[in-house]
Each structure stands twice: as structure tokens, then as C-alpha cells.
Amino acid sequence: METDDLGRRVADDVAGGGGLAGVRRLSGVIAALEERRTGLVEELRRGREATWEEIGRACGMTRQGATRRWAGRLRARSFGVAAASYQHGRPGYPQALIGAAVPREARKVLDLGAGTGKLTGLLVEAGLDVVAVEPDAGMRAQLVAAVPKAAVRAGSAERIPLPDGSVDAVVVAQAWHWFDPAAAVPEAARVLAPGGTLALVWNVRDESEPWAAELGALMHRSTNQRIDTWPAVPAPFGAPERLEIRWEHSTTRAGIVDLVASRSYVIALPDAERARLLADVEELLATHPDLAGRDAIAMPYLTRCTRVRLG
């Protein structure tokens, strides 16, 4: 059977009697098919089995169209291969963040894009009932081991695997910039109970110390990614409340090397370039006069939180 005929038959079966129910069923299947196509593209690119040109042709697109559509998405899904470095090297969050990110009356909280559970653990320790949603299997494996008390689900911000109105608060740490906001905003609003809140959180390295500025310069040489850490959130959410917390993450030289190794743009580098960057970081840490002879290092951070409430 021709692919087009197969598509038409499947579409007719799914649409059934038509109407709004048909549109809903078709939308669910289209989203699932798109998710599967992205998975296949990801496998092909990981194994270097197909070029963007070939993938574009298979999808009826140009090479540029295919790259525009998936390259960013694949970067967003790249963290799993460095999940152990992520867990070892990335900072957590200051305790004071919980009061800013989650309203006092909240009980059930969704940690969306939960990664290895850096924020999930704090939420559980605060006595909240936490469900953590994370698309990457490698990150989820670390999360389940690190925070056994959280309910962990596979899923994404664009398709949250939770019923309507089922949580009091959604928190997104260090991940909102990877989401498609056109789908993630209505999904977050859908799973929130009336009056629920959405908090977007980022850790920003405070580069006021010279060694931290030099580390930042080394890291920036491999990326031009700029993240808006004070984002606007559209309707149905209301005006933002914003908070910044200054704190220090206690780490080691090996921890800082893992911090760098777990950045998505470092994961994506060709092997030789990644090895050179990590060697340069090790040399900076070993030779900078402010760090010489020290293994315990206090890494300065600013944690930024933007919280909005369903209107």
C-alpha cells in the first residue's frame, strides 16, 4: 500500500464519526506520531546514520527546514549521555527558593523537566507531594535513584502526562528555555488547579570573582546560547513575582569539570574539541592564583525565580 493511502486510512479510522471528539483523537495521534518521528530522527543523528539532507528529504522538507525543526530539540534531549556528570557537577538550589517557587498553600507539585532531581529532592524534603516529569531515560534513572520518594513519569512539557487540574504548583528549573512555549504554557495551565502557580527558575553563575569570569569565558567560547532568565509568561498567567537569591555551591575541581561536561553545547562538541575544552578548564582550576592548592571551591551563584499565577 502507498504511504499516502495508509495515512488516509489511519486518519479516517482515528477521526471516526468526526466532530470535536474526532478532532481531539486526531490531535492526540498527530502529537504521538510527531514524538515518534522526533525519536527516529534522534536515533539517526546519534548514530550518524543519516545526514540532515537525507532526513529532510524523507520528511518532504529541505535540509534547512529539517535542521531548524529538530537540531534544537535534539540538543534539549542530549543531557542523558552525561547524566552522571550532571548529577555530580551541577549545583542544587538554595533552600530559600522553595518559599518563592511554591505557594504556602500548595500540596501537590509538578517538577517539569526534572532532570536528575536537583530540585525534586528539595521539594520532597519540604514535605510536598511531588511528581517529576522528565523525557530523558538517562536523567530519569539518576532521578529515581536520587529521590525515591518522588513519583517519576516519562513525558514532556508539551505533553504532560497528568490529568487536568491535578497539581497546585508547577516548577521548572533550568529547563524552560528548552520547551516550546506555544505548547508548554497551555499544558502547564491545563494541569494546574484554579489559582495554581508556575515558577521558572535558573541558576546563573556569579562571575564577579576573576576565576569565575575566566571559567565563564572558556565556557562561552563553545556557545552563543543566551537564555532570558527573567522571562515573560503569557496569558492565562498573570503578572510575575520575581526573586533573586545569592548563594554559594560547595564543590571541587572535579565537580567543576563535570559541571562543564554536562552542558548541552559541550556534549554536542566533536570529541577532540570537548577534550581540549575540559583540559583547559582543568588547567585554569589548577593554576589560577585564587584557587591554587585548593580542592574545596565555593562557586558563587544567583538563583532567579519568576512565579506567575493562573488568572
Ligand X SMILES: C[S@@+](CC[C@H](N)C(=O)[O-])C[C@H]1O[C@@H](n2cnc3c(N)ncnc32)[C@H](O)[C@@H]1O
CB of 233 to ligand X, least distance (A): 16
User: How far is the C-alpha of 173 from the C-alpha of 60, rounded, in Å?
Assistant: 36
The residues, ordered by sequence, that sit 6+ positions from 276 with a Cβ below 8 Å of its Cβ are none
Taking the complex as a whole, the smallest distance from the CB of residue 169 to ligand X amounts, in Å, to 15
- Among 98, 114, 167, 281, the residue binding ligand X under the rule CB under 6 A is 114
Q: How far apart are CA 285 and CA 281, in angstroms?
A: 6
- Among 52, 92, 47, 54, residue whose Cα is nearest residue 69: 52
Least separation in angstroms between CB 231 and ligand X: 15
CB of residue 65 vs ligand X: minimum separation in angstroms?
Answer: 20
Q: Site for ligand X (CB under 6 A): which residue of 85, 109, 131, 174?
A: 174
Q: Which of 70, 85, 122, 136 binds ligand X (CB under 6 A)?
A: 136
Quote the least distance from Cβ 76 to ligand X, whole Å: 4
Instruction: Kindly identify the residues of this chain, within the stretch 82-101, that bind ligand X according to CB under 6 A.
Output: 90
130 is an interface residue for ligand X by CB under 6 A: no
- Quote the least distance from Cβ 147 to ligand X, whole Å: 11
Query: For 51-76, b where at least 16 C-beta lie within 10 A, e where not — what string?
Result: ebeebbeeeebeeeebbebbeeebeb
- Among 161, 70, 72, 74, which residue's Cα sits nearest to residue 114? 161
**Site mask for ligand X (CB under 6 A), range 55-84, x = bound:** ---------------------xx-x-----
Q: Are 266 and 260 within 8 A, CB to CB?
A: yes
d(CA 135, CA 35): 11
Closer residue to ligand X in complex, CB, 237/263: 263
Q: Is 255 an interacting residue with respect to ligand X (CB under 6 A)?
A: no
Residue carrying the nine cell digits 539532507: 53
- Contact present, 92 and 251 (Cβ < 8 Å): no
- Rounded to whole angstroms, the Cα distance separating 40 from 32 reads 12
Pick the binder of ligand X from 85, 142, 156, 303 (CB under 6 A): 156
User: Considering beta carbons, is residue 158 or 282 the nearer one to ligand X?
Assistant: 158
Regarding 139 and contact with ligand X (CB under 6 A), the answer is yes
Q: Assess 115 for contact with ligand X (CB under 6 A).
A: yes
Q: Interface with ligand X includes 147 (CB under 6 A)?
A: no
Which range binds ligand X by CB under 6 A, 60-68, 110-118, 269-277, 282-290?
Answer: 110-118
Interface ranges with ligand X (CB under 6 A): 76-77, 79, 90, 112-115, 118-119, 134-136, 139, 156-158, 173-175, 178-179
